[in-house]
Amino acid sequence: MKKLMATHGLKSFFTFLTICFLQIDSWAQDSTSSSSTSTKTTTTTTSTWFTEPWVWVVGGIVLLIIIVALTRGNSSSTTERTTVVRENNSDRVV
């Protein structure tokens, strides 16, 4: 029973500390002073590789080549397959 109470006490203490830190953090963000600040914003535009149209064209061509190669298979092979059935007549009774 003492172990249960000790665990409960530790949980309560850590919960109290967490709430205190959250309160301090929210108070630190509250600004009541009337100071003026100037902000300079610079924007740079970068294009990513997948927004370029040539990437999509090259990707489509490569995909088309792969699909054609897979569906074509090994059609250049001229091997014929023949099934041979062997009959054993020695088991017949005459």
Percent pLDDT > 90 in the chain is: 16
Task: State the DSSP code for 29.
Answer: T
Query: What was the pLDDT predicted at 26?
Result: 67
C-beta separation of 13 from 20 below 8 A: no
Give the range with max mean pLDDT: 28-37, 59-68, 85-94: 59-68
Q: Which residue type sits at 17?
A: L
Is pLDDT above 90 for 19?
Answer: no
Determine the Cα–Cα distance for residues 84 and 60; give it in Å rounded to an integer: 46
Assign 3-state DSSP to the chain and report helix, strand, coil percentages, each to 5. Answer: 55, 0, 45
Give the range with max mean pLDDT: 22-26, 41-45, 76-80: 41-45
